[in-house]
Amino acid sequence: EAGVVQSPRYKIIEKKQPVAFWCNPISGHNTLYWYRQNLGQGPELLIRYENEEAVDDSQLPKDRFSAERLKGVDSTLKIQPAELGDSAVYLCASIQSVRGTEAFFGQGTRLTVV
């Protein structure tokens, strides 16, 4: 069974440019998370989906970040415009339900904003 797939693995963009990340969770996993992780830090939740509904986006900087999960499967996270401080690894994770015992992570997208 394929794990959580993210693309691209790496992205370098100039500030003020837009960028998008894509995530395909494990089949059948209803809950999908987007996290941001800075070097030496733990994952920071950006948004959580239950199926196609964003149930927790309190930490998403909505002035520049947006996300969607069409049909409750794949998800995209977009930043427009990107700022230097957005440089980080963006991780997608899925779990069968919020009470599930194991979250599966994709390899992440390492974003560098120059």
Partner 1 sequence: GQSLEQPSEVTAVEGAIVQINCTYQTSGFYGLSWYQQHDGGAPTFLSYNALDGLEETGRFSSFLSRSDSYGYLLLQELQMKDSASYFCAGANNRKLIWGLGTSLAVNP
* Cα distance between residue 31 and residue 25, in whole Å: 9
**Cβ at position 18, least distance to partner 1 in Å:** 25
State the virtual CA torsion across 48, 54, 59, 60 in degrees, nearest 10.
110
Q: Is 48 in the site for partner 1 (CB under 8 A)?
A: yes
Q: How many residues bind partner 1 (CB under 8 A)?
A: 22
Residue 25 is a binding residue for partner 1 (CB under 8 A): no
Place of tokens 């520049």: 64
**Are 72 and 30 a contacting pair, CB within 8 Å?**
yes
Q: CB of 102: closest distance to partner 1 in angstroms?
A: 4
Q: Indicate the residue among 80 and 112 with the shorter CB distance to partner 1.
A: 112
Distance (Å, whole) CA 4 – CA 104? 7
* 5 near partner 1, judged by CB under 8 A: no
The answer to whether 107 contacts partner 1 (rule: CB under 8 A) is: yes
Determine the residue type at 11. Answer: K
- Contact between 53 and 4 under an 8 Å Cβ cutoff? The reply is no
- Does 53 interact with partner 1 (rule: CB under 8 A)? no
Chain positions contacting partner 1, by CB under 8 A: 33, 40-45, 48, 55-56, 91, 93, 98-99, 101-108
